[in-house]
Amino acid sequence: MIGKWAEDFGVESPGSLSWSHGTNSEEALIKALEGTVHFIETDVMINRKAELVCAHPPNTDSDLTLNAFFWWVRGKKTMKKAFIGIKLDFKLPEILWSSLGLLEKYKFKTPVILNADILRGNGAEPARFHPEAFLVICQTYLRYHPNTIVSPGWTTAEGMPYTKENVDEMISVCRWLDNVTFPVRLSLMEESWPQLQRLIEKDGWTLTVWSGTDPVTDQQRQWLRDNVDHNKAFIDIG
């Protein structure tokens, strides 16, 4: 699927697609829409008014509601984008159904990625989501929206690489999925690579490499170029 997305965007591979990460304010969203990015990623929370908002913990509110995010992107309010994908990073399990219900109203025809940390990573905090529940709910939505893909990940801790047990558990949980992209933290990849490679052995299974607020070095960029097939991975790094 992500190979077709690359064709739709007119780039040579999924790894060539560009990203706006953590787009959690109206200012950041407008900047992304007026720029050259192909995908806009936002984090989904709920505020004290019970509104779905674009915010990353520990923040629980922002000046951008999820409804406004969809309105700007779907309506192409800036008139600068004809085709753009979105990635929703869900931070709380209780907002998943309502978020997908709101997403449904906007009838996106462009690519949509549904992401959450569903498994506990090595030395990391427990995941908030029940893995099977997240996947089943997302697959229910995907059944009617074929241009959508699920992105299940792990919680992570700095300096704690992914283990064989982490990858075994993810493969077991996702064994019934045909199309999936696994988010993996760049700073943990090199040491974990013998295990992480197993996630892209199945057709339709890919990676999404992310860096978040981690600094990205020239050595890491070179390692990515040398080791990761850009036809099997999104590259969402700073």
What is 79-129 written as a DSSP string? S--SS-EEEEEE--GGGHHHHHHHHHHH---S-EEEEEEEE--TT-PPPSS
Please state the domain extents for the chain: 2-236
Q: pLDDT category, 1, cuts 50, 70, 90?
A: confident
Is residue 46 within 8 Å of 90, Cβ to Cβ?
no
191-213: pLDDT as tens digits? 999 999 999 999 999 999 999 98
CA gap 25, 194 in Å, rounded: 38
Q: Which of 54-68, 69-83, 196-210 has the lowest mean pLDDT?
A: 69-83
| Highest CATH level, class, for 2-236 | alpha beta
Q: What is the pLDDT of residue 79?
A: 45
Q: Checking DSSP bridges between strand 180-185 and strand 233-236, what pairing results, if any?
A: unpaired
Q: What is the pTM of this model?
A: 0.96
